[in-house]
A and B are shown apart, each in its own frame.
Chain A
Amino acid sequence: MRLHINGQPREANAATLNEIWEVEARMKEIDSPRGFAIALNGRVVPKNQWPDTPISDGDQIEIIRALSGG
């Protein structure tokens, strides 16, 4: 399945948004989703809905975090 994550094309083998998150979190050593959020095809998906949100080929996923800013 081909996804676009943060603007980059990515091959992924995942059924739900939560599985995508878990891969990202493991890769980047993130232990808590506090301060993070995900949008699927331009709509924010609340954290508690990640496990029940299916993903499909061509989906656009934005994963963000709050950082220092002015």
Chain B
Amino acid sequence: MNGLQISYFEASARKRLSELVDAGSLVEFCPPEMRQTSPHLAMLDAPLAFDDGVVTGRASLSGHKVLIAAQEGRFNGGAVGEVHGAKIRGLLDRALSERPAAVLLLIDSGGVRLHEANAGLIAISEIMRAVLRVQAAGIPVFALVGGSCGAFGGMGIVTRLCTEVVMSEQGRLGLSGPEVIETVKGVEEFDSRDRALVWRITGGKLRRALGEATLLVDDLIPAFRTAAAKLIERYRAHPPVPADLDELLGAQAELTERSVRFAAARDGREIWQADFAEASRVPEMTVAEFNALLGEAA
């Protein structure tokens, strides 16, 4: 750590990794030297990356062994193709034999890579099942969402399957991106260029208020590191157990309640108004203030 405040949002996947884990501890699996590139991008004369847009490896974080994957949002929007998806799935499979303290997924992805859409869709469903297997084995999986592509499409579902979801205010989480909705349904439905609106629908504070994100942190790599380290400690004491019937009936009731309570809502403001005395101040609140007020509200 060099004392500079490093924005998680601005950093590349490799930069995030290097600052997140203990210095020099990262051992990469299927590294760029192996040049496991996408033949499907090559077939379409599209640019390639030697890591196919995702770094996978083992590292230590505060001395604890973790397996970790980091998607590179600058390459094809972090989208999941055959090789990219298989690397993440392989990492999750590896967790079953290596039994790390946690698996960390640094998600920065618009979802399926259209150039290899069928492979990407199947790969994401394989990742979903693998995340559940790892959790069922008592190993927590943490999603970190704070990159420029957010977590959308199938990766938005994967994120919500994780044991914990750490987000920054700048992070975005959803299923269909604003651009897709605008293209299909029109600008009146969702103006994707209205950045404040996009943020109020998909951003970290909204997701945290709804409980979709479990922790909101500042847009700094050390803040994500601190949060991950705390979560690792917490889950070492209490490993995750797969959801049973009662827990899922409870989740069903909560999700139903949310859909009834906000049956007509189309803007994050309506959700903040329900949670915060001074809803109009939410956008300008610091993360610390927001978390404190949310704690009081809860």
State yes or no: do A and B come from one complex. Answer: no
